[in-house]
Amino acid sequence: MTSRTPPLPSLRAFAALVRLGSVSAVAEELSLTPGAVSHQIRALESFLEVALVERTGRRLVLTEQGRIYGYQVRQALDDISDATENTRRRSRQRKGEKLLRVSVLPSFAHGWLLPRLQDFCRLYPDIRVVIHGSMEYVDLNAGTVDCAIRFGHGNWADALIQPLMPDSLLLVASPALLGKRESHTLAQLMQLPLLHSIENWAAWVSSMPDAEPQFQRPPTRMEFTDSTHLLEAARQGLGVALTRRSIADNLLQRGELVQAFAHVCPHASHYYALQPLAVEASESVAQFLGWLQVECARFAHSLKT
């Protein structure tokens, strides 16, 4: 009897091609050669007796049938992944293991959460913590994480939201870049190399008492979409960075970065803890969020003293 289900390796290769768009990218992700990826695609087409891709030189372009089938395959594989993770989680719970999966921005994890996380692990040694670092918004109701720490305005409609703490904007740089001078004027700092990310220079400057009315973001030769990379560049002395106080905290505490200018302004966004609406919080989530509230309050208080 002929199987109704194509070989899983072929399905995985085709789903990856739909998602990534090139054979070379699929080969890198699946640790295969480009030839092996092409072989898996051809095997799937042979099984289905349908052309899924059009071959134009070295490129593979999805046919209309391939686009529809690819979407369905990706959905099915995602369902298998979710079912597998849910089964594993129930198995761990039966064995008495407490699992806590936290989605968090990489910059906040690296600069603020990780230096404090050992304290939580000491208080709750029976909880295994899994940090999901992602800049993408994770669907909490999909069951892949138990809670999330997000930065924004608190208007996520599909989650239970708990305020954590505000943040602020400040200029930072490496001590080596600033030299031995004790202080710099803003004009002097603007002559140094500047590093940009998503933070709002105009908001920082306009909050000064003597702000320039038509301030424009100063030019830069280096810009980052990831704040972790921004701070690493600043640490290496590549320039002055405008950043959130929270994510620079670890480097400031260690003296690898210093505040380059006295002015600090409140950030328009705040940190929030998010929980899924459809699932009652586990004991481990409640313990983590309780600990997190205390740490956030302690950090906010330390900035006022």
Q: What is the pLDDT of residues 4-53, one digit of tens each?
A: 788 888 889 888 888 888 888 888 888 888 888 889 989 988 999 889 88
Is the confidence at residue 213, as pLDDT, over 60? no
Closest CA to 10 of 48, 60, 57: 48
- For residue 241, the surrounding DSSP H or E stretch is strand 240-244
Least confident of 30-44, 173-187, 200-214: 200-214
Is the confidence at residue 94, as pLDDT, over 80? no
Number of domains composing the chain: 3
Residue 31: what pLDDT?
A: 86
Domain residues for the domain of 160 are 98-166+269-304
Structure token digits, residue 132: 């999901």
Residue 93: what pLDDT?
A: 58
Residue 6: what pLDDT?
A: 87
108 and 157 inside one domain: yes
178 and 58 inside one domain: no
223 and 298 inside one domain: no
Query: Looking at per-residue confidence, does 172 or 86 come out higher?
Result: 172
Q: How far apart are CA 44 and CA 7, in angstroms?
A: 8
pTM (2 d.p.): 0.67
DSSP 40-101: HHHHHHHHHTS--EEEETTEEEE-HHHHHHHHHHHHHHHHHHHHHHHHHHHHHHHTT-EEEE
160 and 280 inside one domain: yes
- Long-range CB contact pairs, 115-123, < 8 A, 24+: 115/249, 115/250, 115/253, 116/295, 119/291, 119/295, 120/288, 120/291, 123/287, 123/291
Q: Using DSSP, state whether 160 is helix, strand or coil.
A: strand
Buried b (16+ CB within 10 A) or exposed e, 37-55: bbebbebbbebeeeebbee
Q: What is the pLDDT of residues 119-176, one digit of tens each?
A: 999 999 999 999 999 888 878 877 889 999 999 998 888 889 999 999 999 999 999 9
Q: Which amino acid, one-letter code, is at 66?
A: G
289 and 141 inside one domain: yes
The count of other CB atoms within 10 Å of the CB of residue 190 is 12
Q: How far apart are CA 61 and CA 54, in angstroms?
A: 5
Residue 87: what pLDDT?
A: 74
CATH of the domain at 36: 1.10.10.10
Closest CA to 88 of 11, 80, 126, 275: 80
Residue 297: what pLDDT?
A: 95
Least confident of 133-147, 225-239, 267-281: 133-147
Is the confidence at residue 96, as pLDDT, over 60? no
Closest CA to 206 of 169, 178, 260: 169
Q: Using DSSP, state whether 289 is helix, strand or coil.
A: helix
- In angstroms, how far is CA 14 from the centroid of its own chain? 27
Residue 153: what pLDDT?
A: 92
Q: What percent of the chain has pLDDT over 70?
A: 92
Q: Give me the mean pLDDT over the 89-105 stretch.
A: 75
Residue 71: what pLDDT?
A: 87
- Long-range CB contact pairs, 71-74, < 8 A, 24+: 71/18, 73/11, 73/14, 73/15, 73/18, 74/15, 74/18, 74/19
Q: How far apart are CA 230 and CA 224, in angstroms?
A: 6
Q: Which amino acid, one-letter code, is at 138?
A: V
68 and 201 inside one domain: no
Query: Looking at per-residue confidence, does 85 or 70 come out higher?
Result: 70
CA distances, 163 to each of 199, 266, 272 (Å): 21, 16, 5
Closest CA to 163 of 174, 152, 171, 179: 152
Residue 1: what pLDDT?
A: 45
> Please, what is the average pLDDT of the chain?
87
Residue 91: what pLDDT?
A: 63
Most confident of 81-95, 102-116, 273-287: 102-116
281 and 159 inside one domain: yes
Residue that is last in its domain, among 64, 91, 118: 91
62 and 173 inside one domain: no
